[in-house]
Amino acid sequence: MMLAKSTLLSRPSVRPAASRPRAVVVRSSGQPTVDLTSKVQEAVKEAEDACAQGTAQDCAVAWDTVEELSAAVSHKKAANKADLTLSDPLEAFCQDAPDADECRVYED
């Protein structure tokens, strides 16, 4: 007859809040944050002016710029949706504090 040895699950060590490392957000000072939506609006106005006063080639180039800026806005929104840390606050928390009880993962 074989006796099953009882196992106890050990809790991960949790450091006090004061000793946990803090997350720091760093932005490069070389390039300021650009508001792409306002850039698109400015480009539309410039394209309308180019079509009213310039040649057909100037008009086409201006609308190409509008299209490229609109695509950049769309790609930025898609990237933000795809990034779980931006859409799910628990994921962001667990990246900073993986030892927290809320972040424990149990396997069957």
Contact 100, 14 (CB under 8 A): yes
Rounded CA gap, 48 and 62, in Å?
A: 8
Q: What is the pLDDT of residues 13-47, one digit of tens each?
A: 555 555 555 555 555 555 455 688 889 999 999 99
Structural domain including 57 reads 35-103
> In the prediction, which pLDDT does 21 show?
54
Q: What is the pTM of this model?
A: 0.48
Assigned domain for 10 exists: no
Assigned domain for 8 exists: no
Assigned domain for 56 exists: yes
Burial classification of residue 62, based on how many CB atoms lie within 10 Å of its CB (0-12 exposed, 13-18 middle, 19 or more buried) = buried
> In the prediction, which pLDDT does 27 show?
53
Instruction: Give 52 or 29, the one with higher predicted confidence.
Output: 52
Q: How many domains does the chain have?
A: 1
Q: What is the pLDDT of residues 65-87, one digit of tens each?
A: 999 999 999 988 887 777 655 56
CA angle 98, 86, 65 (to 5 degrees): 150
